[in-house]
Chain A
Amino acid sequence: DTEVTQTPKHLVMGMTNKKSLKCEQHMGHRAMYWYKQKAKKPPELMFVYSYEKLSINESVPSRFSPECPNSSLLNLHLHALQPEDSALYLCASSQGPPGLTNSPLHFGNGTRLTVT
């Protein structure tokens, strides 16, 4: 079992739907991340939150909207997605803020998203 919990595990949504992915960690980590992973590819960074503030946005389309309500929670709001957005969406956390420490990422098991 991982210490980063993601819900839901699977999500199927139409192109006009609005949905949200949720992530929670209780390790006291101060940085949280969203990654997107396509089959047989490595994870691709989307967003980084450091001390609850957005510190990195990898030029992600605005149909993906991140939110960090507190240091333990991270959401990803989805709206008007395209079929090519279908992927495994991974949440991760690290002990220290990126750029200041070399602590590893700890990943959740992801949400498998299918856009129809």
Chain B
Amino acid sequence: EDQVTQSPEALRLQEGESSSLNCSYTVSGLRGLFWYRQDPGKGPEFLFTLYSAGEEKEKERLKATLTKKESFLHITAPKPEDSATYLCAASGYSSASKIIFGSGTRLSIRP
């Protein structure tokens, strides 16, 4: 069964303290690995799609990377406005057209 697992569940950082969020996936025939940011009471905001191992994408202080089993979301010198829940999701050839979400990492950046 296809599965996406995120860790840690919650992460508190000081402003400027870089770190990484982990997304482990077990998906047969990965079609795409997606990262989203979700603020409280809002819908998830699309950040990145990664398609194959070795691929990297960047946006401001965020960089997403992909291996054959995991994806990482690296946050460099975060600011309080980066506080949000970050969701990882995967789509595979065997998952019958469904995108499978991980349970998210709640990130809090203290000033």
Chain A contact residues, CB within 8 Å of chain B: 2, 4, 6, 40-43, 45, 48, 55-56, 88, 90, 92, 97-99, 102-110, 112
Contacts and interface: CB of A to CB of B under 8 A. Distances in A.
A30 B76 CA distance: 36
Contacts of B34: 104-105
Given A55-B97, A98-B97, A99-B97, A105 B102 contact: no
A92 B58 CA distance: 24
A102 B32 contact: yes
Residues of B contacting A: mostly: strand
What 9 pairs between A and B have smallest CB-CB spacing? A99-B97, A107-B43, A98-B97, A102-B32, A42-B101, A102-B31, A109-B43, A107-B44, A109-B42
A43 B101 contact: yes
A102 B49 contact: yes
Contact of B103 (A41, A56, A103, A104): A41
A102 B43 contact: no
Given A55-B97, A109-B43, A42 B103 contact: yes
Contacts of A43: 44, 87, 101
Interface of B: 31-32, 34, 36, 41-46, 49, 51, 87, 89, 91, 96-99, 101-104, 106
A110 B49 contact: no
A103 B32 CA distance: 8
Contacts of A92: 43
Contacts of B44: 43, 90, 105, 107
A45 to B, nearest CB: 6
Contact of B43 (A40, A42, A45, A110): A110
Nearest to B98: A45
Report which residue of A43, A45, A98, A102 has the largest number of chain B beta carbons within 10 angstroms of its beta carbon.
A102
A55 B98 CA distance: 11
Report which residue of B32, B51, B91 has the largest number of chain A beta carbons within 10 angstroms of its beta carbon.
B91
A72 B30 CA distance: 29
A110 B44 CA distance: 10
A102 B96 CA distance: 12
